[in-house]
Every structure is written in C-alpha cells, then in structure tokens.
C-alpha cells in the first residue's frame, strides 16, 4: 500500500494573508496545485456549507480558507464553481442556497476573477456498480459537470458519525431532501460510513483541504462550540486527511466509522502507518481535551474491550443512544425537524415539536437542522449505565 501524504501547516487566525500562505504551503507539501488540476479545467469547489451560518460559529468551512483555495485554482487557470447542497432538512432551492452563501460569508468570493457561486439545483442519478453498499447515487449536476472536484472541509464533531471531515463532506453532493433517505436506509453509523465511502468512490475529489484553524467540539456539526486548533491540512486521500485531523482533535481515528470502514476495505492500514504527515509539527497544535458529542460516538483512545463495546453500540445501540427531545420553551414550531426526520418520528402538536421515542432511529438530523438550538439530547437509564462503565 502506498504512503498517503498529508500536508500540515500551522495557522492560528483567519487573517487573509496568513490563511493564503498556509493553504498554498499545505498544498505545496503534497505536490502543489498542478499535481491535482490542469489549466482550463472546470473545478467544483465543494465547501462544508451545511445550511449556512456565520463564520464565527465554526459550522461551515471559513470563507478565508475557501477563498484561498479558490484563488489558487483561478491563478492556475481553472474555472472555479463553488457549489453544495444544504443539509438534510433544507429544500435545495436557489433562494436557500443564496441565503446560505450570504450567511456564511461566501458571497464575497464571487469578486475573485474566474470564481462563481452556483445556484443551479439540478441533479441526476448515476450508476456506481463498484459500490459495496450503494450502486446508484443521486448527485448534484455541478459535481457531475466538473472536470475535477476539490473539497474544502471543516474539522467538527458529529452527533451521529462522531466526527465530520473530508469523507463526510462529500455527502453535500447528494441533493438536499434526498439525504434523509440515506439516514433511513443506513441506520447505524457503521453502515452509513460504508455508504459515504462508496460516494467518495463514485465522485472522488482530487484534493481535500481541511479547515482546522478553528474546529467544532461538543454537539456538532451544527450546535457544538468553536474550538481553536490552528492548522490547515491538505491531501489527496480523504481518509488520511481525516486520520491526521482526528488526531489533532485528541480522538482515536479507529473509533470513527468512516476510518474503520476504510481500514476494513483495505483503503488504509489498520494501524494508519501509511499516513505520513509532512510540514509543521502536529503535536504543537493537537488539542488533548477536545469535547466529544453527547452521544459518545467519537471515541477516546480506548482499550480493546471498550472498543468492542463501542462497535456493538454503533451497530445495535439505538436504545442506549440519547433521545432528541425538543424544549417547548425554545421551540418555535417551525417544522424543519419534521421535514428532516427520515423516520417520521417528529411531529408538531399545539405549535411545538414532539418526538416519538419508539420511532426515532437516533440519526440526529433534527438536532443538526434546528437553527433555534431547541433540541436537547437526553439519555435513558441503559445509556447512562453504559456510559458509566465504558467512557
């Protein structure tokens, strides 16, 4: 198995000059922009947009990082199209996209010559016979029309998958309201991870740039807290970029579903000895006490027994995972969670959201999509017992 290089450059602030220099050097460390794209190519720049949020909240890739990559591509002679489909509960419409771009600070990037923001919401189904769990995907047209895809991801925790970074970022090329179908079909994080690997095989980005200047800890990907890390990473292999980033976040890469699934498929060595980080010292920016999500999906460095139990919980542990519970005091009754829920477990009663615990599959799409932060996670007795023993 060949070595997978990941460029890592310290970058402590979203100062435009500092970020531009860090992004360029991180990409230089893995071969330079010319190793990934050619002049004249139409390149899809795929940010982590989710549903749009102010840059200071650390929900989206920061516009300074996205802009730095866009400028590099444009200077290399590429036509750059920034496009994404918002998160699961948001309709994939021109209006919603424009709002998400505005809120995230992406709209200003259109001033860069050769760079545009797409509001095209077309998509089509494509076959992927090599897929292990998915042989057909619905993909946004901008991804299919591009000569190359460059992903700009964000280092965050995730209630359902434990961590979201390079591999998970590509889920955004599945059009908006089709995403809950995947959550309904792949109900546990391990199976969901296999689907994400298939998606990365179906439309493989040529380059992944990780915004880990400020990451998100706690209940990501939407409602966690910003946490400075201080690095930009870049690489051709999404799992290798994720392994390097997960370590910066003080977690065990093997406890993350997409990494474990990639190792099981032979895409990366189980001990990650084929991941080589080049550039600045990772230890100088690694955050040891990065806060995990309340679901406990993002593992610590665990013993073999704990790892076994965590695997069991990932496959069979719906009952011990916390239940999303809307708080009537904060809930506005907007209904976004109802629209998002793949299991039809959410409903609005007397103007407030309510969850049916028996129907809920604990995918946490509702938590991810509630912009009012009105959904708490409450763990039952069985979950508390497991937590006491194994965390």
Binding site for ligand SF4 (CB under 6 A): 324, 326, 331-337, 340-341, 343, 345-346, 353, 355, 360-366, 370, 372, 374-375
Instruction: Return the number of the residue (150 or 369) whose C-beta is nearest ligand SF4.
Output: 369
Q: How far is the CB of 61 from ligand SF4 (least distance, A)?
A: 24
Q: How far is the CB of 224 from ligand SF4 (least distance, A)?
A: 16
Q: How far is the CB of 136 from ligand SF4 (least distance, A)?
A: 24
Instruction: Return the number of the residue (15 or 319) whose C-beta is nearest ligand SF4.
Output: 319
Instruction: Give how far the C-alpha of residue 322 lies from the chain's centroid of Cα atoms, to the nearest Å.
Output: 21
Sign (positive or negative) of CA dihedral 377, 378, 383, 387: positive
Instruction: Return the number of the residue (62 or 156) whose C-beta is nearest ligand SF4.
Output: 156
Q: How far is the CB of 340 from ligand SF4 (least distance, A)?
A: 5
Instruction: Give how far the C-alpha of residue 167 lies from the chain's centroid of Cα atoms, to the nearest Å.
Output: 7
Phi first, then psi: what are they for 89, rounded to 5°?
Answer: -95, 10
Instruction: Return the number of the residue (147 or 376) whose C-beta is nearest ligand SF4.
Output: 376
Q: Which ranges constitute the DSSP H helices of 232-303?
A: 238-248, 257-264
Q: How far is the CB of 367 from ligand SF4 (least distance, A)?
A: 7
Instruction: Return the number of the residue (10 or 362) whose C-beta is nearest ligand SF4.
Output: 362
How far CA 281 is from CA of 127, 230, 248, 253, in Å, comes to 42, 11, 11, 18
Strand 375-378 versus strand 323-326 pairing type: antiparallel
Report the distance separating Cα 350 and Cα 122, nearest Å: 36
Report the distance separating Cα 282 and Cα 15, nearest Å: 21
Which helix (H) or strand (E) segment holds residue 21: the answer is helix 16-28
Report the distance separating Cα 180 and Cα 366, nearest Å: 10
Q: How far is the CB of 18 from ligand SF4 (least distance, A)?
A: 37
The crossing angle, in degrees rounded to 10, of helices 304-316 and 381-390 is 160
Angle at 156 between CA 150 and CA 160, to 5 degrees: 105
Q: How far is the CB of 263 from ligand SF4 (least distance, A)?
A: 27
- Cis ω for the linkage preceding 209 (within 30 of 0): no
Instruction: Return the number of the residue (34 or 357) whose C-beta is nearest ligand SF4.
Output: 357
Instruction: Return the number of the residue (152 or 313) whose C-beta is nearest ligand SF4.
Output: 313
């Amino acid at each position: 198995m060949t070595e997978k290089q990941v460029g890592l450059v310290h970058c402590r602030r979203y100062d435009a000059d500092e970020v531009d220099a860090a992004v360029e050097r991180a990409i230089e460390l893995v071969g330079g922009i010319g190793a990934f794209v050619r002049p004249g190519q139409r390149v899809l720049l795929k940010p982590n947009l989710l549903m749009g949020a102010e840059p200071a909240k650390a929900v989206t890739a920061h516009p300074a990082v996205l802009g730095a990559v866009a400028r590099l591509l444009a200077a290399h002679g590429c036509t750059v199209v920034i496009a994404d489909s918002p998160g699961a509960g948001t309709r994939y419409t021109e209006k919603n996209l424009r709002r998400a771009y505005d809120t995230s600070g992406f709209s200003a990037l259109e001033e860069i010559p050769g760079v545009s923001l797409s509001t095209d919401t077309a998509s089509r189904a494509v076959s992927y016979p090599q897929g292990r769990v998915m042989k057909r995907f619905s993909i946004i047209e901008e991804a299919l029309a591009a000569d190359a895809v460059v992903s700009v991801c964000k280092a965050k925790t995730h209630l359902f998958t434990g961590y979201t970074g390079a591999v998970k970022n590509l889920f955004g090329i599945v059009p908006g309201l089709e995403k809950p179908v995947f959550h309904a079909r792949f109900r546990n994080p391990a199976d969901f991870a296999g689907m994400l690997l298939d998606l990365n095989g179906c439309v493989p980005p040529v380059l992944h740039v990780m915004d880990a200047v400020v990451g998100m800890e706690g209940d990501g990907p939407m409602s966690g807290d910003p946490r400075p890390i201080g690095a930009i990473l870049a690489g051709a292999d999404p799992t290798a970029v994720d392994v390097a980033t997960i370590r910066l976040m003080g977690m065990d890469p093997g406890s993350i579903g997409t990494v474990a699934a990639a190792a099981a498929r032979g895409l990366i060595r189980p001990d990650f000895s084929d991941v080589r980080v080049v550039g600045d010292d990772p230890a100088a920016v690694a955050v040891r006490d990065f806060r995990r999500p309340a679901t406990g999906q993002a593992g610590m460095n665990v013993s073999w027994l704990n790892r076994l139990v965590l695997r069991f919980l990932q496959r069979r542990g719906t009952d011990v995972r916390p239940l999303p519970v809307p708080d009537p005091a904060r809930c506005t009754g907007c209904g976004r969670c109802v629209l998002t829920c793949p299991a039809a477990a959410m409903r609005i009663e007397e103007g407030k959201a309510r969850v049916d615990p028996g129907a809920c599959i604990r995918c946490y799409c509702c938590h991810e999509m509630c912009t009012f932060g009105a959904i708490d996670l409450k763990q039952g007795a069985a979950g508390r017992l497991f937590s006491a023993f194994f965390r």
